[in-house]
Amino acid sequence: MSATIDVTEILRAGVEATDAALERLLPAPDAVPSSIHRAIRHSTFAGGKRLRPVLAMEAARTLRRDRALPAGVEDLGAAIEMLHTYSLIHDDLPALDNDDLRRGKPTCHVVFGEAIAILAGDALQTLAYQTLAQLRCPAPATVEIIRLIAEATGTVEGMIGGQVLDLEGEGTRPTAESVDAIHRAKTGALIRVSIVTGGVYAGATPEDVERLTIFGRKAGLAFQIVDDVLDMTQDSAHLGKTAGKDLATDKATWPAVFGIEASRRDAARLIDEAFAALEPYGPAADGLKTVARFLVERTN
């Protein structure tokens, strides 16, 4: 069965379904007040790969014997992408990372000003919950999805908590513990919950939730390690600086603490452990595994 799974096609279809859902769910760019609606669309349609929605969809498929996508699951992916985008808009603000560019495009506050960027981030969070409250799954599953997502994006071991840990750690030498805690919370929690809520949307039992949680936790950490390694090796090529110099910086990344080779081994080990959690699903999990394998083996 896995021979028939084309990861490029899964990723392309995921982008297409998510972008169509976002186009339908976000207010029109000329809806009053238009400045914020243009700002929301500027940042939401900035060339994201929609990896979280793809993971949610493949997790949903894993629980279906026929691997069919449950109707409307793309709205769950769109809501998760709104949350991801809100966190990027606020992260880029002058008071936080002060980034003028993201994926080569000017950031939200550069184009629309700080006030609108703050409110556009706020509004994307609000729109995410409005979207979740209109999901086409039974009400108890919807409530569970909302609870899980709020928890994963909150301050206690969630996305915002990770941002705060990252801010607090600036200028201090990262340790294995601090890098792990930041990764788990800042990026890991939203990836994990994308996978788990995809399962809940498809009718997961408590055992399914437990397996998807283990898979999501380990795979999410592996993705982040690979991201950090790519950042570092791409930086080396781009800036002409050596890996040794990167290791000497205070950036809270996995390879900065453990080195590049150990990081690659850790990512490979984590993905093997993650796959073990999907054993009971047999070939139904092939899509999810294929996407995960692609993400840890990519070279850019």
Q: Which residues bind a second copy (CB under 8 A)?
A: 27, 31-33, 35-37, 40, 86, 90, 93, 95-96, 113-116, 118-119, 121-123, 125-127, 129-130, 132-134, 138-140, 142-144, 146-147, 150-151, 153-156, 158, 160-161, 163-165, 167-168
Strands 105-106 and 101-102: antiparallel
Using omega within 30 degrees of 0 as the cis cutoff, is the peptide bond preceding 33 cis? yes
| Least separation in angstroms between CB 271 and a second copy | 29
| Least separation in angstroms between CB 144 and a second copy | 8
- 37/56 Cα distance (integer angstroms): 26
If the CB atoms of residues 7 and 93 are measured against a second copy, the closer one turns out to be 93
If the CB atoms of residues 46 and 93 are measured against a second copy, the closer one turns out to be 93
- CB–CB of 78/21 below 8 Å? yes
- 173/185 Cα distance (integer angstroms): 19
- 21/135 Cα distance (integer angstroms): 12
Tokens 């990896």 belong to: 51
Tokens of 116: 């609108």
| Least separation in angstroms between CB 37 and a second copy | 7
| Least separation in angstroms between CB 42 and a second copy | 14
- CB–CB of 115/88 below 8 Å? no
The pair phi, psi for residue 106, each rounded to 5°, is -60, 140
Tokens 């990764």 belong to: 183
The 10 Å Cβ neighbour count of residue 186 is 22
If the CB atoms of residues 138 and 280 are measured against a second copy, the closer one turns out to be 138
Tokens 């972008």 belong to: 19
The pair phi, psi for residue 94, each rounded to 5°, is -50, -35
Tokens of 216: 């999501």
Tokens of 100: 């003028």
If the CB atoms of residues 145 and 271 are measured against a second copy, the closer one turns out to be 145
| Least separation in angstroms between CB 43 and a second copy | 14
If the CB atoms of residues 136 and 269 are measured against a second copy, the closer one turns out to be 136
If the CB atoms of residues 81 and 246 are measured against a second copy, the closer one turns out to be 81
| Least separation in angstroms between CB 120 and a second copy | 9
| Least separation in angstroms between CB 155 and a second copy | 5
If the CB atoms of residues 155 and 172 are measured against a second copy, the closer one turns out to be 155
* H or E segment to which residue 106 belongs: strand 105-106
